[in-house]
Amino acid sequence: MWSSLAASTLSSTHRGRETVISSRWFKGFTIALACGLLAFPATSAAAPGGQGYGKPSDGARSLGDPLLPQLGNGGYDAEHYRIELDYDPGANRLDSAETTMIATASQKLREFSLDFQDDLEVSSVEVDGRAAGFSAEEATPDLSDDPDVTQPMKLVVTPHPSTRPKAGREFTVEVQYAGQPQPITDPDTSIEGWINACFPFDPPQTCDGAFVVGEPMGSQSWFPSNNYPTDKATFDTLIRVPNGSTALGVGELAELTEHADGTSTWHWTEDDPTATYLTTATVGDFIFDVGSMVETSTGTTLPVYNAIDATASPAQLAAINASLARAPEQINFLSELYGPYPFDSTGAVADRAAGVGYALEVQTKPHYSGGFTSGDPSIDVGTQLHELAHQWVGNSVTLETWADIWFNEGWANWSEWYWQFLENGGDDPAAIWDDLYATTPAEDWETAPALLDGDPANLFHFFPTYQRGAMTVQGYREIVGDQTFFAFAKAIQSQFGHGNVSTAEFIAAAEEASGFTGARLELLDDYFQQWLYGETRPTIVPDDFGP
């Protein structure tokens, strides 16, 4: 994600030390609670009667995230989603919708939950083809004291006793629903999820559909899922819209079917593992183009799906096309850095969605929302590099918990520093590092990237997540030298690609790659502890490691 607003609101969103202390207590409590929940099914599985055939138990309604314990569900692992939407862009309404999740149970389930807001009306839930009980429940604990922040919800499913999922067995959940999806307001007051794509910010507005982005939790505004980054799955996204509207999903366009009633179904398929926060179902009046590019590290030809808001002025269109024309060279720059492009297609969505103000690295199709007030569509070429870098760092190698967000954003931001320097007349990353280390005010160092004061409102806080994250990467580069560093940049892709990495796993991999031993290795470990977990300006700098 990249927001030009984040940098400008940095000082106003800084949290005081009192908040730090209280939120630490809060965090400790939620972790203990989640562990308690997770311990329950383990006991059950060991009961007489064999694993999965003993007494059924309830799946946990949390995966114990340090910042967002409201998200994720235990007791099963999602493998595939088929999402079918019948969408009316004029009314911004899902006339009908059906999401089918194929999952494997890890315990015998009397009850389990999915992450799903209750703005949409669920008409039926079936488990393995048999009607199941269901209810909407608030996730716990409360996400925020601010009444404008959306409280995450759960769809709790109680299968008929004859179709209770059994440990190790695959099962299918089919949810039918309809209504008007609502955007989600995050703890930092930004919006995400199903956003009616309108401009300008102040009425009267013109609207043409939906700008659909989901970091960290927006996907639960439009389809039920296990909405947590570690439960990646493959996706079929089928969206029926009036002819003339363009509908977009993750992955490749498998089929475009015209119906007799003046509507068409856009069927997108993504067969690489995809985190739910990287999905989309954006619909609008777009100039839609299917092209191709050659990924030079493998010689693979990739389809390129570009969608530009149809109301773009000739000047806006020319500027967007100038940025898009550089995307293939940027992808090849990144594939030299990180290894082969991890997915089977690429593209971009330049929409006109006022009130959003950020870009998001939607898998295979980075989304650009346009100006916050005007909605004017644009793609900054540096931001484009950032979102394309996320396809490797973020989308293929994905954070393990939301407290690891510095990994996604630190690497993407560093990638942009590096590209700007080599290809676009920017400063040397080493000089950026020196400048930030010398000039960043003391209070900005008080938020540790891998802790974020335990406050989800700090997830996209510019200095700790983006700048200090990138400094940690650049500092490591200076410590180990370019040869080791660039081999490591590729190694994390081969080691963690199409999966997840925690901060601890990252540090362990970086230390191993360094080849350091003894006191030098201890100093490197202290370096990472200070830079990622320290709540003051780190004292260990690359110069401490000698030439």
Residues in contact with Zn ion by the rule CB under 5 A:
1-2, 409, 412
Closer CB to Zn ion, 212 or 362, in the complex: 362
The residue among 30 and 465 lying less far from Zn ion, judged by its C-beta, is 465
Task: Give least dist CB 88 to Zn ion, A.
Answer: 32
Q: What does DSSP assign to residue 26?
A: H
The tokens for 138 are 């608030």
DSSP 196-216: EEEESSSSS-EEEEEEEE-TT
Phi, psi (deg, nearest 5) at residue 474: -65, -40
- Nearest to 330, CA basis, from 315, 316, 318, 346: 346
- Least distance from Zn ion to the Cβ atom of residue 279, Å: 16
CB of residue 390 vs Zn ion: minimum separation in angstroms? 6
- Measured from the CB of residue 198, what is the shortest distance to Zn ion in angstroms? 24
CA separation, residue 199 to residues 1, 32, 92 (Å) = 21, 45, 14
Would you state the torsion angle of the CA atoms of residues 297, 298, 301, 304, taken in this order, to the nearest 10 degrees?
Answer: -50
Query: SS3 of 261, please?
Result: coil
Do 174 and 126 touch, CB atoms closer than 8 A?
yes
Query: In angstroms, what CA-CA distances link 62 with 72, 76, 117, 292?
Result: 5, 12, 15, 41
CB of 413 to Zn ion, least distance (A): 7
Q: Which is nearer to Zn ion, 171 or 358 (CB)?
A: 358
As a dihedral over the C-alpha atoms of residue 132, residue 138, residue 139, residue 144, rounded to 10 degrees, the angle is 160
Q: Which is nearer to Zn ion, 2 or 112 (CB)?
A: 2
| 247 vs 385 by CB, closer to Zn ion | 385
Report the residue number, 125 or 250, with the smaller CB distance to Zn ion. 250
- Which residue lies nearer to Zn ion by CB, 1 or 122? 1
Please tell me whether residue 100 adopts helix, strand or coil conformation. Answer: strand
Nearest CB to Zn ion, comparing residues 348 and 513: 348
At 239, phi and psi to the nearest 5? -125, 120
Cβ 185 to Zn ion, closest distance in Å?
20
**C-alpha to C-alpha distance for 178 and 87, rounded to whole angstroms:** 9
Integer CA distances (angstroms), 188 to 26, 117, 145, in order: 18, 19, 12
Residue whose CB is less far from Zn ion, 126 or 409: 409
The nearer residue to Zn ion, 409 or 455, going by C-beta atoms, is: 409
| Interatomic CA distance for residues 207 and 200, integer angstroms | 9
* Residue nearer to Zn ion on the CB measure, 10 or 31: 10
Closest residue (Cβ) to Zn ion? Answer: 1
What is the smallest separation between the CB atom of 405 and Zn ion, expressed in angstroms? 9
Kindly list the distances between the CA atom of residue 352 and the CA atoms of 266, 287, 428, 447, 482, in Å, as whole numbers in the listed order: 21, 12, 34, 34, 41
Helix axes 314-325, 381-390, angle to 10 degrees: 50
Q: How far is the CB of 308 from Zn ion (least distance, A)?
A: 21
Question: According to the 3-state scheme, what is the secondary structure of 142-193?
Answer: CCCCCCCCCCCEEEEEECCHHHCCCCCCEEEEEEEEEECCCCEECCCCCEEE
Q: How far is the CB of 361 from Zn ion (least distance, A)?
A: 6
Q: 3-class SS at 309?
A: strand
Residue 382, classed as helix, strand or coil, is: helix
Q: Cα–Cα distance between 383 and 406 in angstroms, integer? A: 17
Find the angle CA(254)-CA(260)-CA(265) to the nearest 5 degrees.
Answer: 25
Rounded to the nearest whole angstrom, what is the least distance from the CB of residue 409 to Zn ion in the complex? 5
d(CA 150, CA 119): 11
Q: Which is nearer to Zn ion, 231 or 409 (CB)?
A: 409
Compare residues 1 and 157 and give the one whose CB is closer to Zn ion.
1
Place of tokens 């007349």: 425
